[in-house]
Amino acid sequence: MDFSDLAKMKEMMGQARQMQQQMERKLAETIVEASTGGGVVTVRMNGKKELLRLKIEPSAIGSAGSDLELLEDLITAAVNEAGRRADEAIKSSMAGMMSSLGLPNLPGLL
């Protein structure tokens, strides 16, 4: 291996680091939202699947006969749906990035 090969390898590693940093920024900037129960529970999540906001309509907890178990189910469903939407946004973003680099869309990776 000569020095030109080492230089190429170093350049490729630098590009890989830049791509990783770019992807991390994109994940943090990607915001998805999901709601359940006709908007009773709304969840906002980023592409890193960090829960950013949980909103519960007062009507869900304000009535004397409110069902805590139902509310828990609505929250769980909203969080899971936001996670699915984050996955879809990530896949779409990565496919675009791979395409812009001239790389094939490999189904097992995305």
pLDDT tens per residue, range 40-65:
999 999 988 999 999 999 887 765 45
- Higher per-residue pLDDT: 78 or 67: 78
User: Taking the mean position of all CA atoms in its chain, how far away is CA 41?
Assistant: 19
Instruction: Please provide the DSSP assignment of 47-62 as one string.
Output: TT--EEEEEE-HHHHH
Domain that holds residue 86: 3-100
69 in Cβ contact with 76 (< 8 Å): no
For residue 43, give the CATH number of its domain: 3.30.1310.10
User: CA-to-CA distance for 8 and 13, rounded, in angstroms?
Assistant: 9
- Higher per-residue pLDDT: 107 or 81: 81
Residues composing the chain: 110
- Number of structural domains (the chain) is 1
Q: What angle do CA 55, 67, 69 make, to 5 degrees?
A: 80
User: Is 63 within a domain?
Assistant: yes
